[in-house]
Amino acid sequence: MAPENGSFVTEFILMGLTDQPDLQIPLFFLFLVMYVLTVLGNLGLIILIGLSSHLHTPMYFFLFNLSFIDLHFSSVFIPKMLMNFISKKNVISYRGCMTQLYFYCFFVISDCYVLTTIAYDHYVAICNPLFYNTVMTTKMCCNLMLGSYLIAISSAMAHTECMLRLAFCDANTINHYFCDIFPVMQLSCTSTYINELEVCTVVGINIFVPFVTVFVSYGFIVFTVFHISSTEGRSKGFST
């Protein structure tokens, strides 16, 4: 009989990307280069925007946050994955797995909503240019970012809390290279019905809201740009 609560598993084994020894070192250097380039690129953009006063605009404020998120998102699982390429046993503790899952969910959801705010910023800039400075104030931009992060925090907490209620008895090998929701959920020796319901609800909302907002925003943008009479005006609209 499955335990009512608690977890008997203290660590998980990550299967990784491949089990072929001759590919471990090449993959290590490939992902190391990709990770370094990602960190340097995002860090460079963050520093550039922070130090350049003429870039202190709503658009670059959102790009600053997007780079911040991408920088930390890549750091959630790539360093651990690099260690696993050169280690004999790809082990992650139970607490480490839950922590990784939380931050993975947080940064993915944050990324979705920051991209949504960028779409809204573009919509205001192109469809209502005369009201842009009135609408996209510093307070408005900060509120949009705060809302994005609060939604991400609450959604990530919901995913993690539901995962923490599961018990893991014997199986502890995750068929993935990091602690993602479904690969971990498959190892549970208790019912995952509540988890599946929660994932469908939260993920559904966090896909539907950004998708509709982005789709509608860019739909209005395309409609507005095509109604600009001059070719130069259309080119400027699309370049924005």
* Per-residue model confidence as pLDDT tens digits over 178-214: 999 999 999 999 999 999 999 999 999 999 999 999 9
pLDDT value at residue 229 = 65
Q: Is the pLDDT of residue 5 over 60?
A: no
Question: What is the separation, in whole angstroms, between the first and last Cα of the chain?
Answer: 61
Assigned domain for 226 exists: yes
pLDDT, one tens digit per residue, over 77-127 is 999 999 988 887 789 999 999 999 999 999 999 999 999 999 999 999 999
Mean pLDDT in the chain? 90
Residue 158 has pLDDT above 60, yes or no: yes
Query: Is residue 77 domain-resident?
Result: no
More confident residue, 159 or 4: 159
- What integer pLDDT is reported at residue 6 of this predicted model? 47
Select from 220, 229, 233 the least CA-distant residue to 121: 220
239 burial (CB, 10 Å; 0-12 / 13-18 / 19+) is: exposed
Kindly state whether residue 74 falls inside one of the protein's structural domains: no
Task: Please state which of the ranges 8-17, 42-51, 141-150, 212-221 shows the lowest mean pLDDT.
Answer: 8-17
CA 71/CA 65 separation, integer angstroms: 10
Residue 154 maps to a domain: yes
Q: Per-residue pLDDT for 30 more than 60?
A: yes
Total count of domains within the chain = 1
Banded pLDDT at 18 (limits 50, 70, 90) = confident
- For 48, counting Cβ atoms within 10 Å of its Cβ (0-12 exposed, 13-18 middle, 19+ buried), the class is middle
Is pTM beyond 0.95? Reply is no
Q: What Rg do the C-alpha atoms of the chain give, in angstroms?
A: 22
SS (H, E, C) 107-138: HHHHHHHHHHHHHHHHHHHHHCHHHHHHHCCH
The number of beta carbons lying within 10 Å of the beta carbon of residue 90 is 18
pLDDT band at 134 (very low <50, low <70, confident <90, very high): very high
In a domain, 64, yes or no: no
Phi/psi of residue 218, nearest 5 degrees = -75, -25
At 2, is the pLDDT very low, low, confident or very high (cuts 50, 70, 90)?
very low
80 inside domain? no
Helix (H, G, I), strand (E, B) or coil at 146: helix
What range does the domain containing 157 cover? 11-19+91-239
